[in-house]
């Protein structure tokens, strides 16, 4: 695996991606759930960017995002390994190590269509393991604020997962499986959004941001549901990123709500 990215580089990468810079060690359970949840999203985002790069759709931005996301993925993984004491979770993190090595090797090399298929497989494996880590951490403190951090963080991932399958279809990797998986991700995203929108712990700011996500989603939903024949890849790329950034802000607002509740 690559050597750990230095702090200054990570700062600029976090700024580029509009993502929070992880703490040297996660401060509490909500922060750990947020960090582990971000890993789910990054696994999908990296593959999405790789596939968009292959089709030369916003290639420069796709490459920068991919490189930055890989650096954050590796850094977050190091943070989790240093922060988590539960042996079951540590074993899961150990299973992730070889998958990260494969991902780094592919993203460091020139784009190849057959590697796109491998990246889709890697993204599935990383998503499964990182989601299992989130659930284990959440069980250790199953309160509403931590649950909201998990659900909102998963929405970040789903926005990128939907875009990843869209990019796979654009890259000629469409199959019955990817169509079914994209449809499933759309359904999960909409169900979770409906649940978050009526969460009693929502502040006015959270509700406002969720409404913004809903408005963005309405502009591109038909791209992913087969309701239109023609779609615009750049619009899909940009808008799903905007949704991810808003959901990231919402996730952090839930983390702050958790901190505030624990201080009382």
CA distance 149 to 154: 8
- Residue spans of the domains in the chain: they are 7-263
pLDDT at 31: 81
pLDDT at residue 18 greater than cutoff 70: no
Give the confidence band of 160 by pLDDT, cuts at 50, 70, 90: very high
pLDDT tens digits, residue range 24-37? 334 477 788 889 98
> Residues 6 or more apart from 38 whose CB is under 8 A from it?
19, 22, 72, 76, 153, 156, 248
**103-122 tens-digit pLDDT:** 999 999 999 989 999 999 99
pLDDT score for 143: 60
pTM above 0.75, yes or no: yes
Give the residue carrying structure tokens 């409404």: 211
pLDDT tens column, 173-195: 999 999 999 999 999 999 999 99
> For residues 96 and 77, is the Cβ–Cβ distance under 8 A?
yes
When the pLDDT of each residue in the chain is averaged and rounded to a whole number, the result is: 87
140-157: pLDDT as tens digits: 765 666 788 889 999 999
- Contact in structure between 17 and 68 (CB atoms under 8 Å): yes
Question: How many whole angstroms separate alpha carbon 150 and alpha carbon 242?
Answer: 19
| pLDDT (mean) for 198-223 | 96
* CA-to-CA dists, residue 140 to 29, 33, 36, 150, 232, angstroms: 8, 10, 14, 13, 43
Which residues are CB-contacts of 135 (< 8 A; sequence separation ≥ 6)?
Answer: 150
């Amino acid at each position: 695996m690559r050597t750990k990215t230095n702090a200054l580089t990570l700062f600029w990468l976090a700024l580029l991606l509009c993502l929070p810079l992880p703490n040297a060690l996660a401060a509490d359970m909500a922060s750990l759930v947020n960090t582990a949840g971000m890993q789910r999203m990054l696994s999908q985002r990296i593959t999405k960017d790789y596939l968009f790069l292959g089709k030369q759709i916003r290639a420069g931005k796709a490459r920068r995002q991919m490189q930055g996301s890989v650096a954050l993925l590796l850094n977050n993984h190091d943070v989790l390994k240093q922060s988590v004491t539960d042996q079951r979770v540590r074993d899961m993190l150990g299973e992730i190590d070889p998958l990260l090595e494969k991902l780094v090797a592919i993203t460091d090399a020139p784009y190849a269509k057959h590697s796109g298929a491998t990246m889709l497989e890697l993204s599935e494996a990383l998503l499964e393991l990182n989601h299992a880590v989130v659930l284990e951490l959440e069980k250790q403190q199953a309160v509403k604020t931590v649950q909201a951090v998990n659900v909102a963080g998963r929405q970040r991932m789903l926005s990128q997962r939907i875009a990843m399958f869209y990019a796979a279809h654009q890259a000629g990797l469409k199959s019955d499986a990817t169509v079914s998986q994209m449809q499933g991700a759309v359904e999960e995203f909409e169900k979770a959004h409906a649940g978050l929108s009526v969460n009693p712990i929502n502040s006015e700011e959270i509700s406002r941001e969720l409404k913004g996500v809903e408005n963005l989603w309405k502009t591109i939903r038909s791209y992913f549901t087969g309701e239109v024949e023609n779609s615009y890849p750049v619009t899909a790329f940009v808008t799903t990123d905007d949704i991810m950034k808003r959901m990231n802000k919402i996730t952090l607002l839930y983390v702050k709500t958790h901190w505030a509740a624990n201080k009382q």
